[in-house]
């Protein structure tokens, strides 16, 4: 039991020392940093690709991105159609309809 109390006291002391060091640091103020456009960081590569597609263009989507593709197309408001091109890997080709 005494070993645990010593470790706890040492841990508390180290923690207090670390907190004291952190208090002495100043937060750096940066000027001239532009405010990002809302939602720009949420757009993934697939959504950006779908936005660039014209009617009749197609892409191959791997199985693990199927749901992401559907949600991205719905969020953008475009209509798509698809066909599974490889039943083993479940890759699908997606065409933009409208």
Convert the pLDDT of each residue in 41-52 to its tens digit: 566 888 888 999
Query: What pLDDT is attached to residue 46?
Result: 87
Ranges assigned E (strand) in the chain: 58-61, 80-86, 91-96
| Mean pLDDT (whole number) for 13-34 | 71
Query: What pLDDT is attached to residue 28?
Result: 72
More confident: 81 or 9: 81
Return mean pLDDT, the chain: 80
More confident: 98 or 63: 63
Query: What pLDDT is attached to residue 44?
Result: 82
For residue 37, CA distances in Å to 22, 31, 34, 42, 63 come to 32, 18, 9, 10, 31
Residue 14: count other Cβ atoms within 10 Å of its Cβ: 10
pTM of the model: 0.56
């Amino acid at each position: 039991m005494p070993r645990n109390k010593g470790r706890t006291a040492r841990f508390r002391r180290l923690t207090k020392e670390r907190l004291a060091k952190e208090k002495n640091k100043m937060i750096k103020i940066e000027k001239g940093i532009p405010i990002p456009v809302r939602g720009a960081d949420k757009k993934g590569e697939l959504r950006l690709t779908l936005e660039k597609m014209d009617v009749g263009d197609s892409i191959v989507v791997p199985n693990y991105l199927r749901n992401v593709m559907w949600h991205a197309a719905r969020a953008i408001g475009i209509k798509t159609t698809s066909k599974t091109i490889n039943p083993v890997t479940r890759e699908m080709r997606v065409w933009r309809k409208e």
